[in-house]
Amino acid sequence: MATVPTTPSTGGATIRLPEPRYDSEVSLEQSLLQRRSVRSYSGQPLTLEEVSQLLWAAQGITDPEGFRTAPSAGALYPLEVYLVVGDVQNLPPGVYHYVPDGHQLFKTMDGDRRAGLASAALEQACVKEGSVDFVFTAVYERTTGKYGDRGIRYVHIEVGHAAQNLCLQAIAMGLGAVTIGAFYDEQVAKILDLPEDEQPLYIIPTGRL
């Protein structure tokens, strides 16, 4: 049985996300063909339904046993996903922690933090201009506790799976996204007020074309 390590932080409000859909008119092959890094967006807001779908693609639960959309060594699920919201309909700007169990968001901070996140990401404009920034973090000990140092590699493989899921889902929805690995870890951790055992791995700005 899969473990479900994600639990909400203290404080904040819980938001139950719309149910994701499980089919579309866009094939996987078309999404693969069209996948590109997109750094410019129209500025139009995303919907809460779109955010829900993207989060489900990245780390949603797909089985009664707790297994997710992306494979995880030992089903230990070291990844966490945060949503830095700037422009989403019916979702105030702030930082939200995704909780796969129940498919919900837990608000951890108020206010638009995209500019600060962009500064931590070497002033990359797309981080500020995307409607949202998805931030993947890892609690390495969940995996290394079983696999030792080899678990570090497994975590990095896993975040690649999850990020690609998100990017392909964005393409299928007609949205633009880009994966960002260039940033100052300590600054990102401070902006998101991450627990000490979590390390940021990826920032994925996403917006409407």
Which domains, and CATH codes, for the chain? 27-172+191-202 (3.40.109.10)
Per-residue pLDDT of 2-41, as tens digits, reads 544 545 544 568 999 999 999 999 999 999 999 999 999 9
Residue 158 has pLDDT above 60, yes or no: yes
Per-residue pLDDT of 47-58, as tens digits, reads 999 999 999 999
Per-residue pLDDT of 123-155, as tens digits, reads 999 999 999 999 999 999 999 999 999 999 999
123 burial (CB, 10 Å; 0-12 / 13-18 / 19+) is: exposed
Helix, strand, coil percentages in the chain from 3-state DSSP, rounded to 5? 35, 25, 40
